[in-house]
Amino acid sequence: MGDFNDKTAAKCGEEKGMVFPMKEKIDRFMIGRYGNDQLNRLLIILALVCCILSFLGSTVLHTGSQSVGITIGILALAYAYFRMFSRNIYKRSAENAAYLRVTSQLRQAVIRWKYKVKQYQTYHIYRCSSCSQKIRIPRGKGKIEITCPKCGNKFIKRS
């Protein structure tokens, strides 16, 4: 009797059809369903933002009408849950692919912007006056002479 622990009880429960832990029930329920993706994340964030803005708008601006924001939020959340629990995986993945295709340029612009911000924290970016080549110089080196690797032009800048 001393060796009968929780794992043994769980195995016995599975074999006899007894109560499963909640995570296992959810996992079994989601088998064959689409699940979560990038479009669902956007819809859930949109629903949250709409609800928060409608509450803030009614309390801060004293507009009294918050039904439009709440309605948009509830519809976005309902559509996200519809997509999540859908069994038509082909259509849901096509919707997500279309969303990713439409937003690809925006996402790439954000990635480039993040990279530039990170670069500007540790480097100065200068342009050569003769050939317009970008030259990256580490910050904190004082006044230095920079030689353009493309045309060989030399100029003095502060890093």
User: Could you write out the DSSP letters of every residue in 92-115?
Assistant: HHHHHHHHHHHHHHHHHHHHHHHH
Residue with tokens 């096509």: 94
pTM above threshold 0.85 = no
Tokens of 24: 């296992």
Gyration radius of the chain's alpha carbons: 28
| Amino acid letter for position 99 | Y
pLDDT of residue 67: 78
Give the chain's residues under pLDDT 50: 1-4, 9, 12-13
pLDDT of residue 26: 84
pLDDT of residue 28: 86
Strands 134-138 and 154-158 come out as unpaired
Contact 136, 129 (CB under 8 A): no
Helices (H), the chain: 6-16, 22-30, 38-60, 67-85, 89-122
Sequence-distant (6+) residues with CB within 8 A of 119 are 125, 136
127 vs 141: CA distance, rounded Å: 18
3-state secondary structure of 145: strand
Among 73, 89, 71, 99, which residue's Cα sits nearest to residue 34? Answer: 89
pLDDT of residue 1: 43
